[in-house]
Structure 1
Amino acid sequence: MKTDSTMESKTDALDTSIGKPLVAADQNGQNAVEDFVDPWNVHTSSMKGVDYDKLINKFGCSAIDDSLIERFKRVAKVEEVHPLLRRGVFFSHRDLHVILDCVEKGQKFYLYTGRGPSSDAMHLGHLIPFLFTKWLQEVFDVPLIIQITDDEKYYWKSLSLEKVKEMAVENIKDIIAMDFHPDKTFIFRNLEYMGQSVGFQETLARIQKLVTVSKIRGQFGFSDSDCMGKYSFPFNQAVPSFSSAFPQIFKGKTNVPCLIPCGIDQDPYFRMTRDVAPRLKFLKPALVHSKFFPALQGANSKMSASDPNSAIFLTDTHEEIKEKINKYAYSGDRDTVKEHQEKGGDCSVDIAFQYLTYFEENDEELEKIRQNYSSGEMFSGQIKEILIKKLTRVVLDHQTKKKSITEDIVRGFMTPRQLVFDF
């Protein structure tokens, strides 16, 4: 695969501060903790959330600009890209242009994404990568691999194997309820599948042989007190990046390109993966990164399964959605009505508006709300009313679909098999 050497040098840069919060001097010379992102933690002091421009520079990835979006439209033969892409929710990438090169040459690729089951029910933030992935699968008509990292949650959380499995099954049903194509989608749980697949185990062994303990420590910040499961997990997440891990799906082909839609916090895993790929004579996986879906309390706080009021869950009722948004969603209103009418609301911190940028598909309607709020004609409470109606439809529709997901349907998605794939 042809890769631009300048971009390759940039995109393969490694952040050596994983696990080490950065401390710098603020304007007054005082110590201040900068934004910190790794696969398990996200910290920022700004109500506007993480500074993604700085994160791009720190991680060494590339911004998705207008020219790349225009090329995407031409190659995908679509009039408009997904709202999550055109609004900058998916904002950076590694080698997305290489995937577009493949499509232009008539070559197929596959999609790979995943979910770490940390609760019985997924929340709205968990939907974002899957919404975009589903659109990509439909636009390009390609197969999809979905990895359920139940092993990760067992290593990092105080959960039993039985509880992890229970949560994984419920999360899988949530994913299937999003209407992924059953003939083109394979879902697997690490703890169930890895030991059964020779292709997975052989690919895993090849990667592990080339990465040292010191390298893993440097990239992920592990210490002597961390269990060996944590040291091994990055390899488990790397393996599905290579088609050699799924001979039953790709007819033994080891050179099928891979595109990974994921949150930017997952990028460290795939920097390691991309680093080892050339030594295995494998293709480097390409990535497209999403921003973080903010917690109800503001973009500087974290959604947590242990705090049901921090997020809208897919099991919530209309009454629960209404109460959470009205009571907990951070407002961008000014201190007084007069000040709000004079200065307008702050869309960059108002959570109700931020959520609409994810779930309001009509650009004109979203822009109208933005202008009315920014001018002071609309208040956050009015935006909340709009959001409550929209999210109630999204969540209740999802619940209806999930009720129809039987054990046989789940097993169908999780059975290793050749997917519908035209090489």
Structure 2
Amino acid sequence: FLLFVEFVTVSFLLGYLSSNTIVLFPQAEIDAAVQLLLKLKVDYKQMTGQDYKAGCPPSENLIVSNNGPAADDCDGEDLVDPWNVSASSTKGVDYDKLIVRFGSSKIDKELLERIEKVSGQRAHHFLRRGIFFSHRDMHQILDAYEKHKSFYLYTGRGPSSEAMHVGHLIPFIFTKWLQDVFDIPLVVQMTDDEKYLWKDLTLEECHRFTVENAKDIIACGFDVNKTFIFSDLDYMGASPQFYRNVVKVQKHVTFNQVKGIFGFTDSDCIGKISFPAIQAAPSFSSSFPQIFGGKKDVPCLIPCAIDQDPYFRMTRDVAPRIGLLKPALLHSTFFPALQGAQTKMSASDPNSSIFLTDTPKQIKNKINKHAFSGGKDTVEEHRKYGGNTEVDVSFLYLTFFLEDDEKLEKIKEDYTSGALLTGELKKILIETLQPMIAQHQERRKQVTDEMVQQFMTPRPLNYKF
């Protein structure tokens, strides 16, 4: 925006000089101003992907060049993009700053109360504890629901390995709660095409990972009558309506815009540059004619981690220009790596994650050996000064998976006072995760290839309204 103001200022000066018969400035200064104007024009287009037009400031949603990997390497700044997350503080990402930087809205007490009123249910503990902390247009979704107009959910998974870790469960646990509470359909995009473009994997491997990951998603308990899981590699070729929406988005986003949003460079393959349009397409109900009968006006709500927001800022900017609704979003915080909250879990580092395939012994060993502690160096110091729950990974994990608010608060009090030692806190986490993962593994064993095929077959879904 500052560039826009500077551009307007220089343009006004040149216009003033050219419209007055008496020129009070030397020709050299006028020439310099012209050169500055030309340079600003080039800079403006590089940053926004738009040619300058008098009186038309750039779209706010497109001023996101500070969001790409190339622009987030400043000291003291958190790095957050769809592929990388790292924090400058041991406490993790500063989410209040991220809300300001991304231009989203904080999920406040008023919104929580309204969600409870409209749904008739107590807010999920992910909402109560600020794990889902930010939103875009959630009030509009609730407005529509109160008027007896349905909406649908869209979330996704990038299948880069056979095994998912517990951090991957977060959006699906929350999405299932939303589906059950509001009785609405869900589409789950498996971006196997994305993983082929970004990873050193074959198409066959990516598609196989889609099927394996789909089994873990189904094991979360989704209703097959309300849920459609699809592979990009399959569905793109089977749905003309989906592909038409992809093409519409592609036409209305420039190369300069995707470079600014995602940090792409000239050495990136063209598949990466065009992929954001594919992730945008499920935001529009017309991409699923088998579910919505060609309707273009069914609102979409996307629960996702906030690192995916750049895709949907782009989508929300494009939607009105192609005659479609902007999707609404609910953003979650990141599930931290065992080594600390400065980065999120990685499926490529087995010691940073608790996998859904881990045995009880592996879970115990990983937590005891790798979980970053907020405790003091000695028992005596810990008893005297207490531990820090803001950085202790075992406590952070419990905020995700221990549903009892009173028990969690008691653990916090005991740990910060020094009454509870680090080893005892880790034991509580181990005893929480072991049965949870064992139960998930049992449910997954019941998921057959035929069930996966049923979830992944384009078909009508049953839902309220």
TM norm structure 2: 0.86
Q: Please list the CA deviations of residues 190-242 of structure 1 after superposition, one character each: whole Å capped at 9, or x if unmatched.
A: 01111110110111122111111111111111111100110111000000000
Which residue of structure 1 aligns with residue 69 of structure 2? Answer: 19
In structure 2, distance between residues paired with 1:16 and 1:45: 20
Q: Please list the CA deviations of residues 337-381 of structure 1 after superposition, one character each: whole Å capped at 9, or x if unmatched.
A: 222122211000111110000000000000000000011100111
- Give the letter for the 1:339 counterpart: E
1:64 lines up with 2:107 in the alignment: yes
Q: Which of 78, 90, 101 is residue 132 of structure 2 equivalent to?
A: 90
Report the Cα offset of residue 11 of structure 1: 8.2
CA RMSD of the aligned region, Å?
A: 1.4
Q: Please list the CA deviations of residues 372-400 of structure 1 after superposition, one character each: whole Å capped at 9, or x if unmatched.
A: 00111001111111111110111110110
**CA contact under 8 A between 1:203 and 1:245: conserved in structure 2?**
yes
In structure 2, distance between residues paired with 1:417 and 1:11: 38
In structure 2, distance between residues paired with 1:14 and 1:111: 27
Which residue of structure 2 aligns with residue 151 of structure 1? Answer: 193
Which residue of structure 2 aligns with residue 253 of structure 1? Answer: 295
**CA contact under 8 A between 2:62 and 2:261: conserved in structure 1?**
no
Report the Cα offset of residue 33 of structure 1: 4.0
**CA contact under 8 A between 1:21 and 1:34: conserved in structure 2?**
no
Which residue of structure 1 aligns with residue 405 of structure 2? Answer: 363
* Residues matched between the structures, number: 407
1:232 lines up with 2:274 in the alignment: yes
1:201 lines up with 2:250 in the alignment: no
Q: Which of 264, 277, 287 is residue 306 of structure 2 equivalent to?
A: 264
Which residue of structure 1 aligns with residue 315 of structure 2? Answer: 273
**CA contact under 8 A between 1:10 and 1:61: conserved in structure 2?**
no
Query: Quick check: which one's helix share is greater?
Result: 2
Q: Which of 166, 169, 173 is residue 208 of structure 2 equivalent to?
A: 166
Report the Cα offset of residue 255 of structure 1: 0.5
Which residue of structure 2 aligns with residue 5 of structure 1? Answer: none
In structure 1, distance between residues paired with 2:257 and 2:65: 10
Q: Which of 360, 379, 394 is residue 352 of structure 1 equivalent to?
A: 394
Report the Cα offset of residue 302 of structure 1: 3.9
In structure 2, distance between residues paired with 1:192 and 1:107: 30
Name whichever of 297-306 and 84-93 sits farther off: 297-306
**CA contact under 8 A between 1:14 and 1:59: conserved in structure 2?**
no
Which residue of structure 2 aligns with residue 323 of structure 1? Answer: 365
- Give the letter for the 1:311 counterpart: S
- Give the letter for the 2:94 counterpart: D
Report the Cα offset of residue 13 of structure 1: 6.4
Report the Cα offset of residue 293 of structure 1: 0.1
Q: Which of 394, 403, 407 is residue 436 of structure 2 equivalent to?
A: 394
In structure 2, distance between residues paired with 1:111 and 1:362: 27
In percent, how many aligned pairs have the same letter? Answer: 60
Q: Which of 335, 360, 380 is residue 338 of structure 1 equivalent to?
A: 380
**CA contact under 8 A between 2:65 and 2:71: conserved in structure 1?**
no
Q: Which runs of 5+ in 1 are unaligned?
A: 1-8, 25-31
Q: Please list the CA deviations of residues 106-148 of structure 1 after superposition, one character each: whole Å capped at 9, or x if unmatched.
A: 1110000000011111000000000000000000000000000
- Give the letter for the 1:39 counterpart: P
1:408 lines up with 2:456 in the alignment: no
In structure 1, distance between residues paired with 2:392 and 2:96: 20
**CA contact under 8 A between 2:334 and 2:344: conserved in structure 1?**
no
Which residue of structure 1 aligns with residue 118 of structure 2? Answer: 75
Which residue of structure 1 aligns with residue 232 of structure 2? Answer: 190
Name whichever of 138-147 and 156-165 sits farther off: 156-165
In structure 1, distance between residues paired with 2:304 and 2:272: 20
1:101 lines up with 2:143 in the alignment: yes
In structure 2, distance between residues paired with 1:138 and 1:177: 15
1:50 lines up with 2:100 in the alignment: no
Report the Cα offset of residue 81 of structure 1: 0.6
In structure 1, distance between residues paired with 2:59 and 2:152: 24
- Give the letter for the 1:38 counterpart: D
- Structure ID, larger Rg: 2
**CA contact under 8 A between 1:318 and 1:392: conserved in structure 2?**
yes
Q: Which of 164, 173, 179 is residue 137 of structure 1 equivalent to?
A: 179
In structure 2, distance between residues paired with 1:222 and 1:96: 30
Which residue of structure 2 aligns with residue 35 of structure 1? Answer: 78
Which residue of structure 2 aligns with residue 298 of structure 1? Answer: 340
Report the Cα offset of residue 304 of structure 1: 2.0
Q: Which runs of 5+ in 2 are unaligned?
A: 1-57
Report the Cα offset of residue 331 of structure 1: 0.6
Report the Cα offset of residue 280 of structure 1: 1.4
In structure 2, distance between residues paired with 1:189 and 1:131: 20
In structure 2, distance between residues paired with 1:37 and 1:160: 27
Name whichever of 330-339 and 125-134 sits farther off: 330-339
In structure 2, distance between residues paired with 1:214 and 1:121: 36
**CA contact under 8 A between 1:22 and 1:33: conserved in structure 2?**
no
Report the Cα offset of residue 10 of structure 1: 11
**CA contact under 8 A between 1:111 and 1:259: conserved in structure 2?**
yes
Change (3 A) 1:320 1:336: same
**CA contact under 8 A between 2:71 and 2:263: conserved in structure 1?**
no
In structure 1, distance between residues paired with 2:280 and 2:222: 23
**CA contact under 8 A between 2:160 and 2:195: conserved in structure 1?**
yes
Name whichever of 62-71 and 299-308 sits farther off: 299-308
Change (3 A) 1:73 1:10: farther
